[in-house]
Structures are given as C-alpha cells and as structure tokens.
Structure 1
Amino acid sequence: MNNILFIEHILSDKSDLGQQLSEQGYSVHSVNNAFDALIQMETTQLEAILLDFSVPKMDSFWVLVARQTRTPIIVLADSSSELERINALELGADDYLARPINVRELQLRLNVLHRRIQVPVNDTVNDYIGFDDTCYTISFADKSLVLTQTEYRLFKYLFERQGVVVTKEELQRRVLHKELGRFDRNLDMHISNTRRKLVKRNLPRELINTVRGQGYSFNF
C-alpha cells in the first residue's frame, strides 16, 4: 500500500481528504507538526507528502527546507495566490494545489510526480553509490549512511560481487574472519541491522537480497 504523509493543521480522524485518499488505496499518516513529520519521514517509506499551508508557518517552512528525503511534497493551500505558490516552490515543494481539492486531480499529480522520480535502478546505483573507507560511510544519490565497520565491509563485499550469490560461509570467513558455526547468527544480525539503517534513511532494504538456502547477493 502507498503511504502518504499528511501534515495538516488540525488532526481529525474524519478528514475528508484523508478519507478519500484511503478509499483510493492510500495509507494516510496524519501529523500536525514538523517533529512528528520528520519521524514519519525517517521510519516510513512514503509515496508523497501533503503539506497543509495553514499549519503554523515556522513548522511548514522548516519541513520544506530541512527535509531529509527525496519524497515529493505537494502543498495544499486555501487560495491560488501566485505569490504563495512561488514561495512554496522556492522552498522546495514539488507541486501546489489550491482548495477545494479534487481528489482525482491530486491522484493524477501524485502519479506524475512518481513517474518523474523513477530512475532505472542500475543507473542510480552505478552513478551515485560511493564508499568512504575511513568513516565507514556509503553514499547513495543525495543520501549518506554511516555503518559500523563490520556492516560497511559486508555491504561493500556484496556490492563488489554484484550479480553473484555469496554464501554465508564465504562472508563469515572473508568479512568476519571466522568459520560459520551451526548456531551462529552474528552474520544475520549484521545484515538485519544494515537493512534497518537503509530503511531509516529511505533507501531500499532490498539492496541486500536474501537467497534462501544459499546466502546473500547485492540486488539492484
């Protein structure tokens, strides 16, 4: 299900817009301040962010300027003011809609934004992924992710063997420098922690793919 973050002035379980989006198959997460918005942005894979411009301006501006996600933002405003629209776009909004909101139009705009940000994954990875061996940091597009030394080495080892299934035994020997015991779960724990950190930075956890009964592979 596609997740929509709705930053609105007054929270309401009976929000007409939220209800109509839910009927269209979206999962709507409503918040009314920048702090809760940033938490949702860090913990949820979002399709888009809808920002009600009636939210106190400091919160609205802060979210637009300081956002840490490439998720499209659509500003919802009470008027079609040209100045306000320009202001919103200058602050980083991707689109602007004045009330009354037509849900069908909003859905079409969401689809357009979704298509616009779609980039072939192979191109994205090859062009933007980078490694900093001194800080154990990977960079992906405009994001950076700091890992532990072991997590970093596991990720890089898999990346350098793209398209190849690497067995747990090989990873255990080459990266953890010990043999894989029958009940040893250290490797799985490091992989799980790395995936969790990827998700928190809105990066695809599926970059590290589990091949059942065989091991792991770097997956585009």
Structure 2
Amino acid sequence: MSRILLIDDDKKLCEMVAEFLQGEGYHCAMAHEGPAALEMALAESFDALVLDVMLPGMNGFDLLRQLREHSQVPVLMLTARGEETDSIIGLEIGADDYLAKPCNPRVLSARLRAVLRRSHSHDAAPQRLEMGDLSLLPQARQAFKHDKPLELTSAEFNILELLVREAGNVVSKENLSLHGLGRKLLPYDRSIDMHISSLRKKLGKHDDDTPRIHTLRGAGYLYAKQ
C-alpha cells in the first residue's frame, strides 16, 4: 500500500481527500502547516507527497526547495486554477507534476497512480545506460555525469531516460508526457518544457560546448549523441 502525505491547510478538504484515497487503496497521512509538514516528510518514508502552495508558516514553494535538498520523493503540487505562474515555479524547483485546485479526487488519484507507476516501473530495465559522460542506472533511478551523481526528480529521471534511450532521434512532447509523467499531454501544458529546462541546467552542455538536448519546434526534443 502506497503511503501518501497530504499537505494542505484546509483540514476538512484534507480529510475528504484522504477518505477517498484510502478507499482507492492508499494509506494517507496529513499535515496542515509548512514546517510540520517538512519535518514529517523528512522523518518518515512516503511514496509521494501532495503539496498545496498556500500553507501557514512556510509556503509550498519554500517547503519543496528545502525538501529537494534531502529527498527526491515524487511531489504532486496543487496550484490555484488559472495561476500558471505557480505551476511553472513548482516544476522549476522540483515538483514532478501539478494539478489545479479545486480538483476532482478521481483525477488526483489518477495523477498519483501515474507518478507512482513511473517511479516504480524499472524492475526489468537494463542495469546501466551509457551515453558519453552520462550514466543512468534505471533500477536504482540514479544518474551520473563524469561519475558524479545528479540530483534529479522522479519526472526528470523518467524524461532523461527516454531521451537517452532514443538518443539521436526526436521524441515528441506527447511521448515524453506519456512515458515521463504517466499521462497524456494536456492543451497549453508546459510541464515537459519546464522539466527539460531544469534538465538542461543540471546536465550542462557536452564537453565540446554543444547542447545535449535540442528543441525541434513542433516535433519535440532530441538528446544529441557525441
């Protein structure tokens, strides 16, 4: 049974969502303030976090920043409907996916299943993927550049793995969303673009100063072989 930490200052909403998710087979814990939620997330073992932006004591963005210094647990961020800036910031600082509030609990459950499926879907994967100075260990979900570990979120690892497997070929945003986030690409959805932007910052360029990940407008992204 997957353990989920629900972080939202609306206690009644949290209890309603927890009741629904428990009926879907999840075990849910709840936190309603930023500092207490961060302490709980770091002290206990959770399979995923559902994190609201607006929290007393510490907002969701600051909580996520501090969490990512110690943990790469999958995070689904809840943002206000119509606040695209919130979703972009969340993805930039390490959220795996986002969902606008108010949201249907069934949609939330489906997004959680997708996040969890992608974070546990490498049992039969090859032991190691090599591409120049880059090494990926799919089963351990670890990535290395020049043998130094890269701190990637679950979604970033999924996307990078697919790009490396298809190195030299264009991978559409639709495929990156399906295989990287576990869901279809939505209209006006910039989540893949933001994950790619984060990967570029973390990976840097090839040693010859050429880009690792190329954008092919209208087609997708390509990881360049060296």
Rounded Cα–Cα distance in structure 2 between residues aligned with 1:126 and 1:30: 28
Indicate how the Cα distance of structure 1 residues 140 and 4 shifts in structure 2: closer, same or farther if over 3 A, else same: farther
Larger Rg: 1
Shift of 1:29: 0.9
Shift of 1:14: 6.9
Question: What is the DSSP-based 3-state SS (H/G/I as helix, E as strand, rest coil) of the residue aligned with 1:70?
Answer: coil
Question: What is the DSSP-based 3-state SS (H/G/I as helix, E as strand, rest coil) of the residue aligned with 1:15?
Answer: helix
Percent same amino acid at aligned positions?
28
Rounded Cα–Cα distance in structure 2 between residues aligned with 1:70 and 1:54: 21
Q: What whole-Å deviation, never above 9, does each CA across 1:97-123 have from its counterpart, x for those lacking one?
A: 112212222222112222322344855
After the TM superposition, which of the residue ranges 41-50 and 116-125 deviates more from structure 2?
116-125
1:33 aligns with 2:33: yes
**Aligned to 2:119, which of 117, 121, 137?**
117
Rounded Cα–Cα distance in structure 2 between residues aligned with 1:115 and 1:8: 24
Shift of 1:142: 5.0
Shift of 1:4: 0.6
| RMSD, aligned CA | 3.3
Shift of 1:80: 2.8
Rounded Cα–Cα distance in structure 2 between residues aligned with 1:105 and 1:126: 29
Question: What is the DSSP-based 3-state SS (H/G/I as helix, E as strand, rest coil) of the residue aligned with 2:94?
Answer: coil
Rounded Cα–Cα distance in structure 2 between residues aligned with 1:93 and 1:126: 20
Indicate how the Cα distance of structure 1 residues 126 and 86 shifts in structure 2: closer, same or farther if over 3 A, else same: closer
Partner of 1:17 in structure 2? Answer: 17
Partner of 1:92 in structure 2? Answer: 94
Rounded Cα–Cα distance in structure 2 between residues aligned with 1:48 and 1:14: 15
> How many pairs does the alignment contain?
135
Asked if 1 retains the 8 angstrom alpha-carbon contact of 2:14 and 2:30, the reply is no
TM alignment of 1:33-182, pairs within 5 A: 33-56=33-56, 58-67=58-67, 68-118=70-120, 119-120=122-123, 123=128, 124=137
Rounded Cα–Cα distance in structure 2 between residues aligned with 1:52 and 1:70: 17
Rounded Cα–Cα distance in structure 2 between residues aligned with 1:86 and 1:27: 29
Q: What whole-Å deviation, never above 9, does each CA across 1:127-160 have from its counterpart, x for those lacking one?
A: 959xxxxxxxxx99859xxxxxxxxxxxxxxxxx
Indicate how the Cα distance of structure 1 residues 126 and 91 shifts in structure 2: closer, same or farther if over 3 A, else same: closer
Shift of 1:5: 0.6
Q: What whole-Å deviation, never above 9, does each CA across 1:178-212 have from its counterpart, x for those lacking one?
A: xxxxxxxxxxxxxxxxxxxxxxxxxxxxxxxxxxx
Question: What is the DSSP-based 3-state SS (H/G/I as helix, E as strand, rest coil) of the residue aligned with 2:59?
Answer: helix
Shift of 1:91: 2.1
Gaps in structure 2 of 5+ consecutive residues: 129-136, 153-226
Shift of 1:40: 2.4
